[in-house]
């Protein structure tokens, strides 16, 4: 029977994701048998404060770009990954990424597989074949890893300088570019998990309650009080991790929802997408 080896690189990776100490990370990985998601949950149950958003950690290098349609009612975001920053900064790589984005925006494929199967503009190749061709030329793994779409009455795309972070936000009605950009930058900076508490996936709510219970018990609270304490922590999670309930980054005295309603009492966010490298 083989023995699992936890490498220094594994420990450092978990430390980068969570901000927890090296020994805590190593113990968590050993206990979780090398499973990073399980190790993150173990750290949280032991009271370690770690990032709520974990979806970005597998990305290495590449470009993230987002763009709105001409009528401002649709936004598309793609992530084209590569192995090194040197390749990501190459003009040809950028051309490929932007050509894929424009094709997605123009043709509205239903899924990332449909996007990969589409024609790469100006060639007889599919997008998947074009990526394979680029792999052969560059000698690095290249992968189209994300394709996201937001449809709404008003859509705004924010591309952070360097194209390693982008956000697309959909509003229920027209608003100013300043307000739309402020909220898109909020999404980019604060990585909310959903628009509001109602839209948080049930599995995330249940996981937060489970973690809250175990944390309360580990802190010495009576078991009969653990669920009530866990629900209180869930409300704190909603405030910190749902977009409309988050503190507004430009004025911590108000929430994002309050910021929107100060301009228009009916204005709200209906959807958003975000991606980040690193």
| Residue 53 neighbours by CB under 8 Å, 6+ apart | 191, 193, 241
Q: What was the pLDDT predicted at 53? A: 42
In angstroms and rounded to an integer, the radius of gyration of the C-alpha atoms of the chain is 21
Question: How far apart (Å, rounded) are the C-alpha atoms in residues 42 and 109?
Answer: 39
DSSP H helices in the chain = 8-18, 22-31, 36-45, 85-88, 91-107, 112-117, 127-138, 177-190, 202-218, 223-241, 256-263
Q: What was the pLDDT predicted at 57? A: 38
For 91-139, how does the pLDDT look when each residue is reduced to its tens digit (9 = 90+)? Answer: 999 999 999 999 999 999 999 999 999 999 999 999 999 998 888 888 7
| Residue 236 neighbours by CB under 8 Å, 6+ apart | none
**pTM score:** 0.75
Q: How far is Cα of residue 248 from the mean position of the Cα atoms in its chain? A: 19
Please answer whether residues 147 and 168 qualify as being in contact, where contact means their C-beta atoms are separated by less than 8 angstroms. Answer: no
Six token digits for residue 237: 């999670």
| Domains recognised in the chain with CATH numbers | 1-51 (1.10.8.10), 61-169+271-276 (3.30.479.20)
Please answer whether residues 59 and 277 qualify as being in contact, where contact means their C-beta atoms are separated by less than 8 angstroms. Answer: yes
| Residue 128 neighbours by CB under 8 Å, 6+ apart | 116, 117, 144
Which residues does residue 146 pair with via DSSP β-bridges, in sequence order? 79
Question: How far apart (Å, rounded) are the C-alpha atoms in residues 63 and 138?
Answer: 16
Question: How far apart (Å, rounded) are the C-alpha atoms in residues 41 and 259?
Answer: 33
Per-residue model confidence as pLDDT tens for the chain (278 residues): 456 788 888 888 888 777 777 888 888 899 999 898 888 888 877 765 554 443 333 448 999 999 999 999 999 999 999 988 999 999 999 999 999 999 999 999 999 999 999 999 999 999 999 998 888 888 788 999 999 999 999 999 999 999 999 999 999 999 999 999 999 999 999 999 999 999 998 998 888 888 888 888 888 888 778 878 888 888 888 999 999 999 999 999 999 999 999 999 999 999 999 999 97
Question: How far apart (Å, rounded) are the C-alpha atoms in residues 79 and 94?
Answer: 11
Q: How far is Cα of residue 3 from the mean position of the Cα atoms in its chain? A: 34
Kindly list the strands in the beta sheet with 269-276, ordered across the sheet, starting from the edge strand earlier in the chain. 154-159, 165-171, 269-276
Q: What was the pLDDT predicted at 210? A: 85
């Amino acid at each position: 029977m083989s023995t699992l080896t936890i490498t220094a690189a594994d420990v450092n990776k978990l430390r980068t994701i969570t901000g927890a100490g090296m020994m805590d990370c190593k113990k968590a990985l050993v206990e979780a048998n090398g499973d990073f998601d399980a190790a993150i949950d173990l750290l949280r149950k032991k009271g370690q404060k770690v990032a709520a958003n974990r979806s970005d950690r597998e990305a290495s290098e590449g470009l993230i770009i987002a763009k709105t349609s001409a009528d401002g009612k649709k936004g598309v975001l793609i992530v084209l990954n590569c192995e090194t920053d040197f390749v990501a900064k190459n003009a040809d790589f950028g051309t490929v990424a932007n050509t894929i984005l424009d094709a997605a925006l123009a043709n509205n494929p239903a899924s990332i597989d449909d996007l990969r199967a589409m024609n790469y503009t100006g060639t007889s190749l599919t997008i998947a074949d074009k990526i394979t061709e680029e792999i052969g030329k560059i000698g690095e793994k290249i992968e189209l890893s994300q394709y996201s779409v937001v449809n709404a009455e008003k859509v705004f795309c924010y591309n952070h300088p360097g194209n390693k972070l982008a956000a697309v936000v959909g509003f229920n009605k027209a608003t100013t570019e300043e307000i739309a950009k402020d909220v898109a930058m909020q999404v980019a900076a604060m990585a909310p998990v959903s628009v509001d508490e109602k839209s948080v996936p049930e599995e995330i709510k249940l996981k937060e309650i489970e973690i809250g219970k175990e944390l309360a018990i580990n802190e010495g609270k009576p078991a009969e009080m653990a669920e009530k304490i866990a629900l209180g922590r869930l409300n704190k999670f909603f405030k910190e991790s749902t977009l409309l309930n988050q503190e507004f980054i430009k004025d911590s005295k108000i929430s994002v929802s309050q910021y929107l309603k100060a301009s228009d009492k009916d204005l709200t966010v209906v959807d958003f997408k975000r991606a980040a490298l690193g």
